[in-house]
Structure 1
Amino acid sequence: MRLNAEFSFCAAHRLPYYDGPCFRLHGHNYRFLVSVEGEPDPKSGMILDFVEIQRIVEETILGKVDHQNLNDFLDNPTAELIVKWFWELLEPKLPGLREITLWEIEGCSVTYDGR
């Protein structure tokens, strides 16, 4: 069974190795989906309490990146490298983390599953 929780944040970035308009500082309204896999606890009936996953993501990711410049954290903050960084931050704190999908713009996303 898979539990999904969706989050959003606003941030700026520039792609220093890109030959095009994204070389310049610009912003996005990012959205990301965190998926945790497991079986519901027999007593609680939950894989993980939604309140707990929200707390972990807020403390680990959103509190750092919302309304910030992502270049302060990553040299080349492409969607691919951002979602991999999010995985590295969350994986130790979320047992059963299965994948993270990040949307930089509507209709364009990247999914990372730790491989």
Structure 2
Amino acid sequence: MVYLTRRVTFSASHRLWSNHLTDKENYAIYDKCANPNGHGHNYVLEVTVQGEPDPRTGMVLNLTDLKRIVNEQVVDWVDHKHLNYDVPWLEGIIPTAEMLAIKFWERLAHDFPPGQLYEVKLHETENNIATYRGKA
């Protein structure tokens, strides 16, 4: 099995806030990330597919296709956006790195053959990374 990864970057802002918590609870949990105006990150997104290289092409997947899918399904929607307000398919979620990784997976999964999408890894900062490999 070969794993092929495409790495992309994008910038976006968000606010971490739950309507299921009190104001006091939100600030206690999310601290400065609960800032009413939000805050931003320079994200790094890694999308990994898996498979055996095609004997005719030597590729698991053409990198041009991988790049196109990642851009069309995720990056074009989120780059330089406020994730709480500007992205319809993120409406109603708390845009933590964990939830974004899941939502990005959901957007990407339908563009690959079943089982080819292996992993979505989102670097929110150098130190905070969320990885999602779909439902078990």
Q: TM class, shorter-chain normalised?
A: over 0.9
Q: CA RMSD in A?
A: 1.0
Name the residue aligned to 1:21: 32
Name the residue aligned to 2:22: none
Name the residue aligned to 1:104: 124
Distance, in Å, in 1 between the alignment partners of 2:128 and 2:95 is 16
TM score, norm. by length of structure 1:
0.95
Name the residue aligned to 1:2: 3
* Higher Rg: 2
How many matched pairs?
Answer: 115
Structure 1 residue 108: Cα displacement: 1.5
**Structure 2: gaps spanning 5 or more residues:** 19-25
Name the residue aligned to 1:59: 72
TM score, norm. by length of structure 2:
0.81
Aligned partner (choices 57, 64, 87) of residue 105 of structure 2: 87
Identity of aligned residues (%): 42
Aligned amino acid, residue 64 of structure 2: V
Name the residue aligned to 1:34: 47
Structure 1 residue 32: Cα displacement: 1.1
Distance, in Å, in 1 between the alignment partners of 2:133 and 2:75 is 20
Structure 1 residue 10: Cα displacement: 0.2
**Structure 1: gaps spanning 5 or more residues:** none
- Structure 1 segments (4+ residues) deviating >2 Å: 72-75
